Structure 1
């Protein structure tokens, strides 16, 4: 049995903002090869306004341990151009949550949330340097696909029909 709970939380909550800083720091190191600047972090946060990951068109999920400590997060939003397609956003597993299957747990929770929002398909994008993400997606039924309305430093795009396990 997992040693965490995954529940919706507002992406703008203070401790979630702290975690988003850690997320952007790690993405900067791994994707850009350097720390993300404060300007880059602010730009990334404002490029994806909170309402995209909030009801009625999205959801932000947070995983916490039994003491309430943050372990991971993932968001989902319906694509404006195709509301039957959801997009996985801001998936991050804190180092304290790694190695116990939490990434898969968050991915499955996002898929369930996407279905609840009415999506029939889910897409995501990632970077070549994020090998763990690409492995997680392919192991869970995602297939590489053509780019969609993505952005940033992505060079891999994945999709999965939500009527399949």
Structure 2
């Protein structure tokens, strides 16, 4: 089996399923119970993903053996910065190199959009994500935004 990575519209069936899986995973971990379909629907309503397309961003889908396995978004900010968002790999595909491919692809997409730095925010309990970011050279930075689910911020020069 091999990995592939390509830009994809956020509203394709595979991208939508991955976005739902991402939200269900992070919300369920936060609440300590599985998120309901209604809660996932509510969380995805007006979530700003339309900006994850050229010229303001990108959305990438990672596939393993052709199966949609992960995703990640990129949003251009001010001053040559791009924010990584919705970086997710389905649990069944973790440990097979897909996260590294996804991170490299997101950084390449950021460069292609003119970014010189990438930033992101996450929660402290998402330890796998935090380990992935650190492994890829991201360091802790001061907060560049605020929100209810933002507890730690990272950045990297490209």
Task: Report the TM-score, using the length of structure 1 for normalisation.
Answer: 0.87
Q: Which moved more, 1:120-129 or 1:12-21?
A: 12-21
Are residues 1:161 and 2:150 paired? Answer: no
Matches within 5 A, 1:36-115: 36-66=35-65, 68-79=66-77, 82-115=78-111
**Which residue pairs with 2:124 in the alignment?**
128
**Which residue pairs with 1:8 in the alignment?**
7
Q: C-alpha displacement at 1:152, in angstroms?
A: 3.7
Q: C-alpha displacement at 1:154, in angstroms?
A: 1.8
Structure 1 residues without counterparts, runs of 5 or longer: none
Q: C-alpha displacement at 1:138, in angstroms?
A: 1.0
Provide the rounded CA distance (Å) in 1 between the counterparts of 2:60 and 2:154: 20
Partner SS for 2:80: strand
Residues 18, 69 of structure 2: 8 Å contact kept: no
**Which residue pairs with 1:22 in the alignment?**
21
Task: Report the TM-score, using the length of structure 2 for normalisation.
Answer: 0.91
Superposed CA RMSD: 1.7
Q: C-alpha displacement at 1:83, in angstroms?
A: 4.7
Provide the rounded CA distance (Å) in 2 between the counterparts of 1:28 and 1:95: 15
Q: C-alpha displacement at 1:150, in angstroms?
A: 4.1
1:66-90 Cα distance to aligned partner (Å, 9 max, x none): 3x211111010102xx151100011
Q: How many residues align?
A: 158
Q: C-alpha displacement at 1:13, in angstroms?
A: 0.7
